[in-house]
Every structure is written in C-alpha cells, then in structure tokens.
C-alpha cells in the first residue's frame, strides 16, 4: 500500500483550519494539525471523531519561528517528509492607519506573512528533492483589494500573496505547487470577535465612518460562508490533480477579488512569469 501523504495544517483549533484538517484526513492524508495551545484541541478532535478520522495534534505558534521549524522537523521524523503545508493560521487587527502603531503592523506581518514565509522555506528543500509538494496559504479577499479599517491585515495579506505568487513559477519547476485560497466573510472566531467599536474612543474623528463600516460588515456577516465550506476549497486546492495559483471560496469572494484582479485563478501571471525562467 502506498504511504499516506503527510500534511501539516497551522491554526487548527477553530474555523477554516479545523475543518481543513478534518477534510484532509477524510481525503486519506496523514494530518498533523497544529495549534498554539494543544489544550484547545477538543473541538478538532470531536469533529474528527464524528467524521471517523484520526488526526495527530502538535503545538506550533507561527510567531515562534524556532519552535515552529522544530515542530516541522519532528513531524518529518515521525511521519515522513511533509508533502502538504497548509498555512492557515491568521489574525486580524482592525483600525485605520492612524490607530495602528508599529507593534500592530509588525504583529500582522509576524503572523500573516513572516510566519508563513518561515514555514514554507523550511519544507521547500524536501519537497524540491521529492519533486512534489503542495504549499497552500489561506490568504483573503483582502489580499486582492484593501478594505477600510483593515489596513494592517490587508497589508500583510497582500504581502503573503506577493511572496507566494513570486515563488509559484519557480517552485513549479521542481514539482511543487503553490496556491493561495481567498475566502471572503466566513463565520469563524475571527469574524465573531471583530468589534470595530472597541478600536475607537468617543472623540475619534473616524467614529462615523467606522460605524458605517461596521454596519456594512455586519450585513456581510449575516451572509457569511460556513467555515466547513471554505475549508472544502482549501482541501481541493491541496489535493487536486490540476493545481492552480488562486482559489476563491465563494461567489462573494470571486466578486470581491474580481474588483481588483481579472486573473482570478492566477494562471495568466504564473504563465507569463514562467516564460521569464526559460
């Protein structure tokens, strides 16, 4: 029997990551689900048990770079080389630039960009040597267009897509497919916890705008996609025989990404850039 592929998924204590881990296990992959605090694994393990699959759990904080790569090494030692890396872990700090200090901007980059870069760099050598591998990063519609009061978050998501899009044609030459998955509003802890009123004091000049935006965001939340549905697209991006660069998880995401980008599956850019390598 062929050995199972090994997948590492980050940020699996909740939301899209939790359902991605279970979905990959259902697809026959050996999943190592990682999270900052393994004491939070209850909902993941309950979902896995309900779906009749087993999942290994390991501690991994993407901002602890040394600990994160140590975890990847331990996974490779125990299960074999990582064939699929799903960079799902993410955070969102709200606010317009005047309200975002350097620490907030740096934190968004640490979690959503630098952590992703470090993990990806660490698994690339073994994937390259194997001539196969999948790097799937959960980015956002906010990686394709800016969103009011999400300046730091969108900046970090633009950054991670730029990194991945640059890497994709080069990694493809070694059999490694690089993809980004762009959900729009999805019903998870991240969106539940978004409270724009918390960011602004009573005399803040941005209050009116923030209230309007919060009203708009709440309207979108009412139609939010279930996390399991968004995760199914992440699983497809990781497992498909026809990998592509860019995936949206819903019609709403396609509409939003399409405001800024006409190359919805990323094929045009990757093909054009690939010719620069010949």
Cite the active site residues: 153
- Per-residue binding string, ligand NAP, 199-238, x by CB under 6 A, is ----------------------------x-----------
Burial 216-241 (b: 16+ CB within 10 A, else e): ebeeeeeebbebbbbbbbbbbbbbee
Whose Cβ is closer to ligand NAP: residue 169's or residue 264's? Answer: 264
Token reading at 39: 């004491």
The site that binds ligand NAP (CB under 6 A) totals a number of residues, namely 29
C-alpha separations of 245 from 121, 147, 158 in Å: 18, 22, 15
**Under a CB-based contact definition with an 8 Å cutoff, are residues 60 and 118 in contact?**
no
**Least spacing, CB of residue 203 vs ligand NAP, in Å:** 30
Contact between 126 and ligand NAP (CB under 6 A)?
no
CA distance 18 to 41: 9
Tell me the C-alpha distance between 141 and 117, whole Å. 19
Q: Which of 9, 57, 89, 117 binds ligand NAP (CB under 6 A)?
A: 89
Residue with tokens 């881990």: 21
Min separation Cβ 208 and ligand NAP, Å: 24
Complex with ligand NAP: residue 63 or 207, whichever CB lies closer: 63
Binding mask 13-52 for ligand NAP (x = CB under 6 A): xxxxx-----------------xxx--x------------
CB 200 within 8 A of CB 217: no
What is the binding site for ligand NAP (CB under 6 A)? 10-11, 13-17, 35-37, 40, 61-63, 88-91, 111, 138, 140, 183, 185-186, 188-191, 227
């Amino acid at each position: 029997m062929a050995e199972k592929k090994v997948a590492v998924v980050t940020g699996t204590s909740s939301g899209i990551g939790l359902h991605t881990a279970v979905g990959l296990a259902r697809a026959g992959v050996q999943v190592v689900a990682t999270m900052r605090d393994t004491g939070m694994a209850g909902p993941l393990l309950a979902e896995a048990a309900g779906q009749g699959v087993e999942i290994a759990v390991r501690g991994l904080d993407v901002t602890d770079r040394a600990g994160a790569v140590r975890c990847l090494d331990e996974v490779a030692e125990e299960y074999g080389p990582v064939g699929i890396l799903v960079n799902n872990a993410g955070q969102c700090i709200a606010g317009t630039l005047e309200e975002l200090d350097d620490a907030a901007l740096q934190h968004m980059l640490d979690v959503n960009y630098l952590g992703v870069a470090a993990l990806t760099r660490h698994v690339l050598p073994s994937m390259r040597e194997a001539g196969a591998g999948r790097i799937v990063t959960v980015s956002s519609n906010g990686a394709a267009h800016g969103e009011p009061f999400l300046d730091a978050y969108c900046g970090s998501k633009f950054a991670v897509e730029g990194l991945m899009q640059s890497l994709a044609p080069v990694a493809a030459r070694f059999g490694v497919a690089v993809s980004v998955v762009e959900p729009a509003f999805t019903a998870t802890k991240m969106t539940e916890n978004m409270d724009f009123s918390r960011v602004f004091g009573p005399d803040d000049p941005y209050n009116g705008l923030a209230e309007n935006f919060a009203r708009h965001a709440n309207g979108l939340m009412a139609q939010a996609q279930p996390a399991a549905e968004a995760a199914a697209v992440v699983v497809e991006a990781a497992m498909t025989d026809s990998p592509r660069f860019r995936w949206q998880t819903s019609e709403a995401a396609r509409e939003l990404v399409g405001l800024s980008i006409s190359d919805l599956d990323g094929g045009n850019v990757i093909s054009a850039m690939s010719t620069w390598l010949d």
